[in-house]
Structure 1
Amino acid sequence: MPIYMDRHDIPEEITAAHVAQMHREDLKIEHLYGCKGMTYWCDEKRRTAFCLIQAPNKKAIQDMHNHAHGEVPHRIIEVEGSIVESFLGRIEDPEKSQKTELNIINDPAFRTIMVIDLRKVSFSGIDSEGLKEEILQLNKVILTSIEKFLGRIVKQKSDHFLLSFNSVTNAVLCAQEVYTNLSAISKDYNKYFQLNIGLHAGVPVTEKDGIFEDTIKMAERFCDIIHGKIVISPEVRELYESENRNIKLDHENIKSLNVGDEKFVNLLVDYTEKEWTNAAFNSNEFSKNLGYSKSQLYRKMIALTGKSPNTFIKDYRLEKALQLLNKNSNNISETAFNTGFNSPAYFSKCFMDNFGILPSKYVQNYAV
C-alpha cells in the first residue's frame, strides 16, 4: 500500500498536545478508510504538523482526517518509507512516546539539507585508475565528517552526496570540516576536483510533489553556479547565528547569500535551464530576459559566481556535455550540437581548454 505524507498548517492556539489528540482520533477510525497511521511530526515554533500514513489514496486520508477531527491536510504527497527515514530519522513513533497514554511528539520535521559536489575540473596528468583512487580517498574523509556531525545520507554517488541534518550548526560545521580536510589530505586534490557545497533548510512537504523538493533544488543550484565555496542560504545563516550567540559566518570559504542573491540564483538557473541548448543563447539574451542592463548583469554575476555571463554559459554547457559523453560516448559531434556549440571543432577546443583533454580522449579513457 502506498505511503503518504501530509502537511497541516496549525493555528496559534493549537499545541503539540492538541496534535497528539488529533492523531489519536485518527487511529481510532483509520480502519474505516483502509489507512494506517505510522507516525507524525509537530513543530509548534513553525506552526506545522506532518503525518505519515499508509493509505489506498489521498482521498482516503482526507476523509479519515475529516471524520476524526475535521482538520483536513493542506497538502498530501506520496513518499517512500526509506527516503523519509533517511531525511527525518524515523518512520514510527519514538519509543519514549509509545508508553504514554497520549503520544505528544513535539518533534519538528524541519531539516538542513546539504549537497556535496566533487566536480572534476581536469583530467590532465591522471589516468582513470588514479582518478578513482583519488575519489575513494576523498570519499573516506567526507564520510568520516558526516558521521561525526550526525548527518544522514539520503543519496550517495562517488562524486555527489545528498545529506540531512537535524541541527543547522552540525551541518555548517560538517561542511567546514569537509572543506578543510579535503585540501589537507591530498596535494593533488585541487588539480583535479572542485569542492562545491550547498546548504539550505526547509520542511518536507511544500507545493512540490517530492519530499524536501524545494530545499534540495536550492542546495543543488548553489553548487551549480557558485563553485569552490560553501554556499549557505539566508535561513541557514540566521539559524546558525541564533544557535551560536550571534557568531557571524564570515569565513573565507563560506559564501553567505542574502534574500536578493537567492532570488537571483533562481532567476539565473531557471532561464539557463530553459535556453542552454539554443546556440543563439548569449549574454544579450540573459540581460534582456532577467531584467538587468548588461553592466548590471556583469557586475552581479562576477560578484556571485566569479564568472562573466558568457563564461558562465560556456562552462554550464561543458558540464552538460561531460554528462552526455558519459551516456552517449560514441558521438562527439552530436554532443557538441546538443549542448549549444556551433561546431564540433569549437566544442573540442573549449573542452580541451576547460578539462585539459580532448573529448575523444575523455571518451576513450574516462567515460562511465
Structure 2
Amino acid sequence: MPIYLDLHEMPDGVTAEHVAEMHQADLHVEHKYNCRGLTYWCDEKRQTAFCLIEAPNKKALENLHAEAHGDIPLRIIEVDGTIVESFLGRIEDPEKSKNTKLNIINDPAFRVLMVIETSNYLNRLEANQFTLFTQKFHNNVSKTLKKFNGRVVKKDNNSYLVSFKSVTDAILCALKIQFQFKYVTPKFDPASRILNIALSSGIPITNKDNIFEDTITLASRMCDIVKEQLVITNEVKLLYESENRNATIDNKLIKTLRPNEEKFLTQLIDFIEQVWSKPNFNVNDFSKALGLSKSQLYRKLTNLTGQSPNNFLREFKLHKALKLLHNQNGNISEVAFETGFNSPAYFSKCFYNKYGILPSKYIQQHIV
C-alpha cells in the first residue's frame, strides 16, 4: 500500500500536545479508511506538522483526518519509506514515546541538506570504479559525516546528498570535509582536487511533488553554478548564528548567498532549462527574459558564477551535450544541433576547449 506524507499548518496556540491528541484521534478511526498511521513530526516554532500514513489513496487519508479532527492537510505527497527514513531518521514513532498514554513528539521535520560534489564534470559522469583516491575520499567523508550526525540520503562515486538536524553540525562538517580534502587528493591530478559543497534548508513538503525537492534543487544548483567552493543560503547562516549566540560566519571560508542572489539563481536556472536548446537564443534574449539590462546581467552572473553570460550559456549547453553523449542519445551531429550549436565542427571545438577531448574521442574511449 502507498505511503503518504502530508503537511498541516498549526494555528497560533496549537502545541505539540494538541498535535499528539490529533494523532491519537487518527489512530482511533484509521481502520474505517484502511489506513495506518506510522508517525508524525511536530514543529511548534515553525507551526507545522507532518503525518506519515499508509493509505490506499490520498482521498482516504483526507477522509481519515476529516472524521478524526477536521484538520485537512494542505498538501499530500506519495513517498518512499526508505527515503523518508534517510532524510528524517525514522518512519515509526520513537521508542521512548510508544508506551506513554499520550504520544507527544515535539520533533521538527525541518532539515539542513548538504550536497557534496568532487572532481570535474566530465569525471563525475564517466567514473564507474572506485580509484584509490575515491576510496580515501569516501572513507574520510563517511567518518566525518558520522562524527557530525549526518544521514546519507544518496551517494555515488563523486557526490553525496546528506541530511542534518543541526545547522551547526552541518556547517562544522562541511568545513572539516573541505579542510581534510587536500590531504586525500593526488597532487599530480588537479582535476581530482575540485570539491564543491552547498548547504540549504527547508521542510519536506512545498508545492513540489517530491520530498525536500525545493531544498535539494537549490543546494544542487549552488554546488554546480556558484563559483565559490563552499556555499550556504542566507537562512542557513541565520540559523547557525542563532544556534551559536550570534557567532559569525567566516566569509573567507564560506560564501553566503544573499536572498536576492538566491532568487536570481533560481530564476536563471528555471529560465535557462526551458530555452537552452534553442539555436537562436542569445544574451539579449537572456537579459530581456530576466528583466535586466545587459550590464546588469553581466554583473550579476559574473559575481555569482565567475563567467560572462556567453560563456555561461555555452558551458551549460556543453554539460547537456556531455550527458547526451554519455547516455548515447544521438551521434555527434545530432547532439550538436539538439543542444543549440549551429554546426558539429563548432560544437567539437567548444567541447574540446571545455573538456580537453574531442567528442569523437570521448565516445571511443568512454562509451561501451
TM (normalized to structure 2)?
0.94
Other-structure match for 2:204: 204
Task: State how far apart, in whole Å, the 2-side matches of 1:184 and 1:226 are.
Answer: 24
Q: SS of the counterpart of 1:64?
A: helix
Q: CA 1:227/1:134 → structure 2, altered by over 3 Å: closer, same or farther?
A: farther
Q: CA 1:6/1:213 → structure 2, altered by over 3 Å: closer, same or farther?
A: same
Does structure 2 conserve the Cα–Cα contact (< 8 Å) formed by 1:205 and 1:211? yes
Task: State how far apart, in whole Å, the 1-side matches of 2:6 and 2:138 are.
Answer: 35
Q: CA 1:121/1:53 → structure 2, altered by over 3 Å: closer, same or farther?
A: closer
Task: State how far apart, in whole Å, the 1-side matches of 2:202 and 2:129 are.
Answer: 38
Task: State how far apart, in whole Å, the 2-side matches of 1:78 and 1:315 are.
Answer: 35
Other-structure match for 1:305: 305
Task: State how far apart, in whole Å, the 2-side matches of 1:193 and 1:329 are.
Answer: 30
More displaced stretch, 47-56 vs 191-200:
191-200
User: After superposition, where does 1:1-368 map in structure 2 within 5 Å?
Assistant: 1-120=1-120, 132-186=131-185, 187-188=187-188, 190-192=190-192, 194-328=194-328, 331-367=331-367
Does structure 2 conserve the Cα–Cα contact (< 8 Å) formed by 1:348 and 1:359? yes
Does structure 2 conserve the Cα–Cα contact (< 8 Å) formed by 1:194 and 1:227? no
Does structure 2 conserve the Cα–Cα contact (< 8 Å) formed by 1:231 and 1:257? yes
Q: CA 1:135/1:320 → structure 2, altered by over 3 Å: closer, same or farther?
A: farther
Q: CA deviation at 1:191?
A: 2.9
Structure 1 vs Structure 2: percent identity of aligned residues?
54
Q: CA 1:17/1:76 → structure 2, altered by over 3 Å: closer, same or farther?
A: same
Counterpart residue type for residue 96 of structure 1: K
Q: SS of the counterpart of 1:220?
A: helix
Does structure 2 conserve the Cα–Cα contact (< 8 Å) formed by 1:4 and 1:79? yes
Q: SS of the counterpart of 1:162?
A: strand
Work out the number of aligned pairs and report it: 365
Q: SS of the counterpart of 1:161?
A: strand
**1:154-188 Cα deviation digits (max 9, x unpaired):** 11111221111111111111222222222232214
> What's the Cα RMSD here?
2.0
Does structure 1 conserve the Cα–Cα contact (< 8 Å) formed by 2:277 and 2:339? yes
Counterpart residue type for residue 290 of structure 1: L
Counterpart residue type for residue 158 of structure 1: N
Does structure 1 conserve the Cα–Cα contact (< 8 Å) formed by 2:119 and 2:191? no
Task: State how far apart, in whole Å, the 1-side matches of 2:253 and 2:345 are.
Answer: 37
**1:122-160 Cα deviation digits (max 9, x unpaired):** 77xxx9899844333333332222222111111111122
TM (normalized to structure 1)?
0.94
